[in-house]
Amino acid sequence: GYGSDNKSDGSNSSAPATSTGATTAKLSADEVKIGYFPNLTHATALVGLKEGFFQQELGSTKIKPATFNAGPAEIEALNAGSIDIGWIGPSPAINGYTKSGGSNLKIISGSASGGVKLVVNPAKIKTLADVKGKKIATPQLGNTQDVALLNWIKTQGWKVDAQSGKGDVSVVRTDNKITPDAYKNGSIDGAWVPEPTASKLVAEGAKVLLDESSLWPNKQFVITNVIVSQKFLSAHPDVVEAVLRGSVKTDAWIKANSDKAKADANAQLEQLTQKALPAKVLDPAWASIQVTDDPLAATAKTEAEHAVSAGLLKAPKLDGIYDLTLLNKVLKAQGQPTVDAAGLGTQ
Amino acid sequence: MADTLTSAAAQHAESAAHAARLDHVSKAFGRPGAQQLVLDDITLDVRPGEFVCLLGASGCGKSTLLNLVAGLDKPSAGSITTPGGRPALMFQEHALFPWLTAGKNIELTLRMRGMPREQRRPEAERLLSLVRLGGAYGKRVHELSGGMRQRVALARALAQDSQLLLMDEPFAALDAITRDVLHDELTRIWSETDLSVLFVTHNVREAVRLAQRVVLLSSRPGRINREWSIDIPQPRRIEDAAVADLSVEITEELRGEIRRHGQH
Amino acid sequence: MADTLTSAAAQHAESAAHAARLDHVSKAFGRPGAQQLVLDDITLDVRPGEFVCLLGASGCGKSTLLNLVAGLDKPSAGSITTPGGRPALMFQEHALFPWLTAGKNIELTLRMRGMPREQRRPEAERLLSLVRLGGAYGKRVHELSGGMRQRVALARALAQDSQLLLMDEPFAALDAITRDVLHDELTRIWSETDLSVLFVTHNVREAVRLAQRVVLLSSRPGRINREWSIDIPQPRRIEDAAVADLSVEITEELRGEIRRHGQH
Amino acid sequence: MASTETSGAQDAAPLGKSPADAPAQEQPDRHDLSGLEAGLDALDAVVVKRTPVGQVLVKKVLPPISAIVLVLVVWQLAVWAKLADQTKLPSPSAVGQELVDRWNAGDLFSIIWTSVSHGLLGFAAALVIGTPLGLVVARVPFVRAAIGPILSGLQSLPSVAWVPAAVIWLGLNNSTMYAVILLGAVPSIANGLVAGIDQVPPLYLRAGRTIGATGLRGAWFILLPAALPGYVAGLKQGWAFSWRSLMAAELIASSPDLGVGLGRYLENMREGSDMAGVFLGILLILFVGIAIDLLIFSPLERWVLRSRGLTAGSQ
Amino acid sequence: MASTETSGAQDAAPLGKSPADAPAQEQPDRHDLSGLEAGLDALDAVVVKRTPVGQVLVKKVLPPISAIVLVLVVWQLAVWAKLADQTKLPSPSAVGQELVDRWNAGDLFSIIWTSVSHGLLGFAAALVIGTPLGLVVARVPFVRAAIGPILSGLQSLPSVAWVPAAVIWLGLNNSTMYAVILLGAVPSIANGLVAGIDQVPPLYLRAGRTIGATGLRGAWFILLPAALPGYVAGLKQGWAFSWRSLMAAELIASSPDLGVGLGRYLENMREGSDMAGVFLGILLILFVGIAIDLLIFSPLERWVLRSRGLTAGSQ
Ligand SMILES: Nc1ncnc2c1ncn2[C@@H]1O[C@H](COP(=O)(O)OP(=O)(O)OP(=O)(O)O)[C@@H](O)[C@H]1O
Ligand SMILES: Nc1ncnc2c1ncn2[C@@H]1O[C@H](COP(=O)(O)OP(=O)(O)OP(=O)(O)O)[C@@H](O)[C@H]1O
Ligand SMILES: [Mg+2]
Ligand SMILES: [Mg+2]
């Protein structure tokens, strides 16, 4: 309803608030390489780049964007120095951090929460109890959704072998791209998947049985956060801070201008992937994702514990994975509440 | 089309009269516009049971002619019939299959002829000892000498048991003695059966030793130059005076023919 | 080792004395335990400028011997030296490169010899017309008749301009007239230069027509059976009575040799 | 009764040596396509070597076109028969519409060109590396024993396996792309050359040695030309490998430096569950593959085979 | 001075015909590996055909082992020199530890076997389909013109492109896996056979026809054996394609029914950013590739070549 307002709102209200000082001073790096997915859960990056919020903060420092399809590739690119800052899910971030012995990256901000649902074939599954004995897809062994499903199964009192996926529920690990096809074909009875795959399944006739956020305190859990390479962080804290300013500003703008942001995100998707999402997928997906500056560190910690108890992760050493000092500095400067690292780093 | 069918039927009717008939056959190689005429208007009958030798200068088209009779190439003009079925052809290059041993090369031919499995091995060995290669059954082609390959190829051609045998310089790589022995064998087989033979050779004495009729081809294009009927009684020997005399005559004719072509 | 080196040096010193020297050469084929002895203790010198013909039954090891002299195989025992450098070898199968035309086959040899580019084409054409194939420069190997291939191979061997020419039945696929002409050419080239020739043939008359010395090999294993020095003066003709007489003698010897081998 | 006849027996004009009066050759087309057996023998018997333009069209252009038309018809029929719904099987017109959209968006050629240029450049590099490698592996026994099997092993290693390593070591740029292509194509080209060399009749090598073509000269003048038919077959497979590796490499990451290629486009369409787009992507990749084959490899193969008389019917 | 000598001239015992007293052949190893040129000629000159066990070990087993040891040493040196940190380059011992872990977990063999059994079965099916297809394409001109280029095009279509279609039509099960393998391997095998048949000297086909081996009998008794060297080369490439296609298929979908194979294992390790695991995965895939080559294709190739005298030195 308030689309026309949003336009003026976006460019007037948030821009002058923080950027005046930053844009004039030259930053320490000429270029910052940013990685993200062309995906709704990376709305901050999509919208921020489209609206120019990051560039405003970075001034003459150029943004060099790269897009990825999967977390591991982005971690590899970060390890290789091909990106400096990236939007990514918590599970690859944690994996990357532990496997490098805590030397490669830091999580410096949150970006999104929610947007994960258990959607099922209504003809076969009517209640949560019906899930027993059915085939449920997750995107990948050991990823956030896989861990969540396994944990949920455990809380139901059912048993599944985490590695093979065999048990009271058959856990089928299927690439998100294939999941709608597999559903259409009847190879799976449901899926525990992030947006927009969940909404695509709904568009195919599936029904949302459970929204994962209902399982979490405050109905919030981390789905996307922002990482930075430690080398870049120590060499160019000013650039990182500028990006964080842009991120905070974007998140605020998205919350304030949801419809405009949705259109921006979709336009950005179309530009990157030649295809926009149809409204029947876009609308429900967008609605279920909340942008947030808070990395929701406590939920990430819990997710990691779930992974450990499912036997998918050796007890990770997550100490120091978060470095929220810059984020909190930015938030303080804007008079917003600071965020917490749940004891896993500086804040 | 109707025309051809009728003439084919007519030829079929008189099938007893010839083992192979070449009727105004021409053959040209190369693409249209740059064709080279190799055989020009050849008309030749091989009667059933006849032994015909084909002589001619190198490159005059003898191998081409045999290929046409064997049905491996099509004439550019004219028609060829072999009423006795598929002729056996012994190629100028031995053309043995390198993935088979000498013996198996022969057995494959026997098999194609429809001979039952258990008879094949003894028959192959019989044929090999016929060409004086008793011990070569298990040898691979690349382990044989040039002359041995040629003899295996001869055995293979004989294995086909066709009514018409086409041979392209079958004894060129053999020493005089082995060749004499095989001349005898070939004459024996030919006289004991109703085999017809069309035999290409460069050795004029060999032609006179073996043939009932010698046909001399001219070069560029190949035309039938002259024919000799040979009535020297068998068994002949290559050293016979009569053979030598006729050979000299034919060689002279060949020389004259070649001289007419200048360079050739 | 020291021993061998000294003897090699010694042989080198007397290099003028022979074009090729085979010293107690043996050759066996097959894997250890199932070996077949093909050549046994062959000792043979080819003097510089000498023309030696090698005769023997089919499969007796003549081609094997030439391969050894050409350095393409190693003797199982004994040593071979060719002080005049790499001999030219004309194979029993033509061994022309099928991806090149007749002319280019010869030019490649000229190029390997180091002849400058602009001289190659005229030289190739000269050699082709020497073997009576003036018009075949641009023909592919598969477009040549059997005898034409053999002649191109001869031209290629001559193109190498080696001091020692090894020839394995070079004229087997040629008609009598063309062969006579090439006999003359070969004799002319040989007598005008200091070329040494080791020549394998099945045609005893051809051997007597060409050679200064005829060497007869026995079969299984190949040993030197007998040698003839031929002092019939050149120019000889293949029809000469003297040639014919000696041929008969040698053929008789060959026949006796083969008879001793029973089957062979 | 074995009989070989030609209908033009009586009325065929005599064949002259002069090109001017050479009449059109009468070749009754005895080609009976109905039976496989007949077809298997057909090439042996036919002697036609160059055919007039009309016939070239009939023989070369008609068959692939009819194959394509057939596929289109079956496809459209399947759509009309509602064998599957739109999301499973888009109609040809939907795919055509997608093509028109791309055309209008103006990025159709840039998508194709991005991939083709990367692919050809990578293939050329693979050629330059793979050829000497294959030569050495084929001819030096120690090297063959040492790295021959490893080469075959590398060939069966999927390109995606290299991607992490390539990204980590080389970063996100064209070098990663080319590294992945090379790792896919080099073993294939080298193996093709090794197979080709193995099939060279030893007689040619011996003939080469007697004329003094030894060592590198022997490799260049004898070995490579003699191995050419097998080598060209290896090149064809090598191209397939490099093209597929490229598609895999394009999926890893995209950035403005790399541009959008066909692999990326296909992936985007899959990501968007756009079946018409996926079909268009497949068809475009197929189209490029066919075009490369028809423009580069087929003529090369024909030339190699024809020049050594290996096309059946030429002897 | 060209000279061929053997040191054993005097002292070599005479070679008897009886196998019992046949002495060890004295073959001075003139093999000089230092120079490439020498190596390129080496195969021509050496006549050794069967060597005693000790030599087999030296010639066949030593080279690959030394190649592997060399790689390990360089790798370990790179790790010690801290050329890159653990995330980029795990140490050999870390990879070894991962292997031990897998072994202890007891699923090492099941992982390998899952992939190998799928791969071999798919390859066998591809063989059965690709061979007649290749035969028909090679010998029936119309079919060749119609689908020859399409076959080459298909070969260059990456396996992932097929996955969505295969999943939609066949579901998430083994048939999808096999479909993807077949689409990768069949064109490659068929093309290999076509290339092999194209290289068959027409003389053999003609000889086959004269002995009456025409039609299917001709295909079976003459065409296939004659084309065998090229066909085997095509099979090798076909195996590489099917194995790579399998890996691609495994990456995309797994279900409890399908089991965890090597491709899936590699992807899981990647997902976990576990570089040691990624390296182990690559090494295992490589190992399987090498093993298949050494156990199946190398002996096959050697047999084919040796039996027709194509191994240099046998003539
Ligand atoms: N496939 C071909 N393409 C072009 N020309 C060919 C082809 N085959 C043969 N010829 C030509 O046809 C002529 C006759 O060849 P053919 O092989 O029949 O001769 P020939 O009489 O058998 O000779 P030879 O006694 O030397 O074997 C030759 O001039 C040859 O160049
Ligand atoms: N590579 C090989 N492996 C095994 N045996 C071989 C090999 N090459 C030749 N032989 C054998 O060596 C013997 C001599 O062969 P060679 O080719 O030297 O004979 P030849 O005297 O040239 O005979 P021809 O006159 O028939 O050409 C034959 O018995 C042959 O079977
Ligand atoms: Mg001929
Ligand atoms: Mg010989």
Per-residue pLDDT 10s for chain D (315 aa) are 444 444 433 333 333 333 333 333 333 333 333 333 333 333 333 333 444 566 666 666 777 778 778 888 888 888 787 766 666 677 888 888 888 888 887 778 888 888 898 889 999 999 999 999 999 998 888 888 888 888 888 888 887 777 777 777 777 777 888 888 888 889 989 988 988 888 888 889 889 988 888 888 888 899 889 888 888 888 888 888 888 888 877 876 666 666 778 888 888 887 777 778 888 888 888 888 888 888 888 888 888 888 777 764 332
| Ligand number with the minimum distance to the CA of B37 | 1
Are the CB atoms for D182 and D126 separated by under 8 Å? yes
Q: Does B175 share its domain with B225?
A: yes
Please check the confidence at residue E27 and state whether its pLDDT lies above 80. no
Distance from CA of A329 to the nearest CA of D (A): 31
Share of chain E above pLDDT 90, in %: 6
A31-36 vs A62-68, strand pairing mode: parallel
B36-46 vs B20-29, strand pairing mode: antiparallel
Are the CB atoms for B15 and B71 separated by under 8 Å? no
Q: Which atom of ligand 1 is nearest to the CA of C145?
A: 17
Q: Does C215 share its domain with C121?
A: no
- Residue B256 belongs to a domain: yes
Task: For residue range B68-91, list pLDDT tens digits in order.
Answer: 998 888 888 888 888 888 898 999
- 3-class secondary-structure state, position E4: strand
Q: Which atom of ligand 2 is nearest to the CA of B148?
A: 26
CB nearest E252 (choices: A76, A80, A178): A178
Are the CB atoms for A137 and A191 separated by under 8 Å? yes
Look at ligand 1, atom 30, and give the residue with the nearest C-alpha: C144
Q: Does C81 share its domain with C190?
A: yes
CB nearest E273 (choices: A92, A164, A172): A92
Nearest CA in chain D to B98: D201
Could you write out the three-class secondary structure of chain C? CHHHHHHHHHHHHCHHHCCEEEEEEEEEECCCCCCEEEEEEEEEEECCCCEEEEEECCCCCHHHHHHHHCCCCCCCEEEEEECCCCCEEECCCCCCCCCCEHHHHHHHHHHHHCCCHHHHHHHHHHHHHHCCCCCCCCCEHHHCCHHHHHHHHHHHHHHCCCCEEEEECCCCCCCHHHHHHHHHHHHHHHHHCCCEEEEECCCHHHHHHHCCEEEEECCCCECEEEEEECCCCCCCCCCCHHHHHHHHHHHHHHHHHHHHCCCC
- Residue B104 belongs to a domain: yes
- C105 lies in which domain range? 96-161
Check pocket membership of C61 for ligand 2, CB cut-off 6 A.
Answer: yes
- Mean pLDDT across A167-184: 85
Which chain E positions have a beta carbon within 8 Å of A140's beta carbon?
A: 267-268, 271
Task: Check residue D130 and give its pLDDT.
Answer: 92
> Is ipTM strictly over 0.90?
no
Are the CB atoms for D159 and D186 separated by under 8 Å? no
How remote is the CA of residue B213 from the centroid of ligand 1, in Å? 23
- Mean pLDDT across A280-286: 89
Task: Check residue C20 and give its pLDDT.
Answer: 85
- Residue B236 belongs to a domain: yes
Mutate to test the interface with A, among D87, D167, D169 (most CBs of A within 10 A): D167
Among A50-54, D159-163, D299-303, E13-17, the range scoring the smallest mean pLDDT is: E13-17
Q: Does C54 share its domain with C167?
A: yes
- 3-class secondary-structure state, position A69: coil
Q: Residue D147 is encoded by which pair of tokens?
A: 């790295």
Residue where one domain finishes, among candidates C143, C161, C179? C161
Task: Check residue A87 and give its pLDDT.
Answer: 93
Q: Does C149 share its domain with C227?
A: no
Are the CB atoms for A342 and A122 separated by under 8 Å? no
Q: Does B252 share its domain with B174?
A: yes
- Residue C29 belongs to a domain: no
Which chain B positions have a beta carbon within 8 Å of E210's beta carbon?
A: 70, 72, 86-89, 160
Q: Which atom of ligand 2 is nearest to the CA of C36?
A: 5
B74: nearest Cα among E141, D28, D307: D28
- How many cross-chain Cβ pairs, B to D, lie less than 8 Å apart? 89
How far is it, in rounded angstroms, from Cα E98 to Cα D157? 20
Q: Which atom of ligand 2 is nearest to the CA of B149?
A: 26
- Mean pLDDT across A160-170: 84
Taking CB atoms and an 8 Å limit, are E3 and C8 in contact across chains? yes
Tell me, yes or no, if D212 comes closer than 8 A to chain C by beta carbon: yes
Distance from CA of D255 to the nearest CA of E (A): 21
**Please, what is the average pLDDT of chain A?**
84
Please check the confidence at residue A169 and state whether its pLDDT lies above 70. yes
Are the CB atoms for C26 and C39 separated by under 8 Å? yes
Taking CB atoms and an 8 Å limit, are A82 and D169 in contact across chains? no
Tell me, yes or no, if C134 comes closer than 8 A to chain B by beta carbon: yes
The end-to-end CA distance of chain A, in Å, is 39
Task: For residue range A208-249, list pLDDT tens digits in order.
Answer: 988 888 888 888 888 999 999 998 999 998 888 899 999 999
Task: Check residue E148 and give its pLDDT.
Answer: 83
Q: Does C185 share its domain with C217?
A: yes
CB nearest E268 (choices: A141, A172, A187): A141
How remote is the CA of residue C251 from the centroid of ligand 3, in Å? 27
How far is it, in rounded angstroms, from Cα A224 to Cα A48? 15
Q: Does C187 share its domain with C83?
A: yes
Compute the C-alpha angle B190/B236/C247, nearest 5°.
Answer: 120
Tell me, yes or no, if E164 comes closer than 8 A to chain A by beta carbon: yes
Q: Which residues pair with A118 in a beta bridge?
A: A192, A210
Task: Check residue C166 and give its pLDDT.
Answer: 93
- Mean pLDDT across A273-294: 87
- Residue B25 belongs to a domain: no
- 3-class secondary-structure state, position E85: coil
- Helix (H) / strand (E) element for B221: namely none
Q: Do chains C and A touch (3 or more CB pairs under 8 A)?
A: no
Check pocket membership of B138 for ligand 2, CB cut-off 6 A.
Answer: no
Q: Domain tally for chain B?
A: 2
Taking CB atoms and an 8 Å limit, are D17 and B36 in contact across chains? yes
- Residue B7 belongs to a domain: no
Task: Check residue C32 and give its pLDDT.
Answer: 67
A324: nearest Cα among A222, A215, A200: A222
How remote is the CA of residue B148 from the centroid of ligand 4, in Å? 9
| Whole-prediction pTM | 0.81
Q: Does C210 share its domain with C100?
A: no
Taking CB atoms and an 8 Å limit, are B202 and C177 in contact across chains? no
Task: Check residue E10 and give its pLDDT.
Answer: 38
Are the CB atoms for B183 and B238 separated by under 8 Å? yes
Torsion sign, CA atoms E130, E135, E136, E142: positive
Task: For residue range A193-211, list pLDDT tens digits in order.
Answer: 998 889 988 988 889 988 8
**For the domain that residue B226 is a member of, what is the CATH number?**
3.40.50.300
Task: Check residue B131 and give its pLDDT.
Answer: 84
CB nearest A76 (choices: D87, D164, D251): D164
Largest CA distance in chain A: 62
Task: Check residue D12 and give its pLDDT.
Answer: 38
Compute the C-alpha angle B164/B166/B170, nearest 5°.
Answer: 135
Q: Does B173 share its domain with B156?
A: no
Tell me, yes or no, if D175 comes closer than 8 A to chain A by beta carbon: no
Q: Which residues pair with B222 in a beta bridge?
A: B39
Task: Check residue A9 and give its pLDDT.
Answer: 40
Show which of residues 7-36 on chain E sit within 8 Å of chain A, judged by CB atoms. Answer: none
Task: Check residue D257 and give its pLDDT.
Answer: 66
Q: Do chains A and D touch (3 or more CB pairs under 8 A)?
A: yes
- Residue C259 belongs to a domain: yes
Residue where one domain finishes, among candidates B121, B137, B161? B161
- Helix (H) / strand (E) element for D2: namely strand D2-4
Residue where one domain finishes, among candidates C142, C161, C180? C161
How far is it, in rounded angstroms, from Cα A242 to Cα A238? 6
Q: Residue D283 is encoded by which pair of tokens?
A: 């068809």
pLDDT in tens, chain B (264 residues): 344 444 444 444 444 578 888 888 888 887 766 778 888 888 888 888 889 999 888 888 899 999 999 888 888 888 888 888 889 899 988 889 988 999 999 999 999 888 888 889 999 999 998 888 888 888 888 888 888 898 899 999 999 888 899 999 888 888 888 888 888 888 888 888 888 999 999 888 888 888 889 898 887 788 888 888 888 777 778 778 877 888 888 888 888 877 776 544
Taking CB atoms and an 8 Å limit, are D4 and B80 in contact across chains? yes
Q: Does C68 share its domain with C124?
A: no
Phi (first) and psi of residue A306, to 5 degrees: -60, -40
Q: Does B123 share its domain with B109?
A: yes
Q: Residue E257 is encoded by which pair of tokens?
A: 């029914």
- How many cross-chain Cβ pairs, A to D, lie less than 8 Å apart? 80
Check pocket membership of B64 for ligand 1, CB cut-off 6 A.
Answer: yes
- Residue B17 belongs to a domain: no
Distance from CA of A304 to the nearest CA of E (A): 12
Check pocket membership of C64 for ligand 2, CB cut-off 6 A.
Answer: yes
Task: Check residue D132 and give its pLDDT.
Answer: 92
DSSP state for residue D256 in the 8-state scheme: T
CA dihedral A101, A107, A108, A109 (to 10 degrees): -170
Task: Check residue B152 and give its pLDDT.
Answer: 92
Task: Check residue E165 and give its pLDDT.
Answer: 76
Tell me, yes or no, if D195 comes closer than 8 A to chain E by beta carbon: yes
Task: Check residue E85 and give its pLDDT.
Answer: 67
Which residues of chain C fall short of a pLDDT of 50?
A: 1-15, 263-264
- 3-class secondary-structure state, position A9: helix
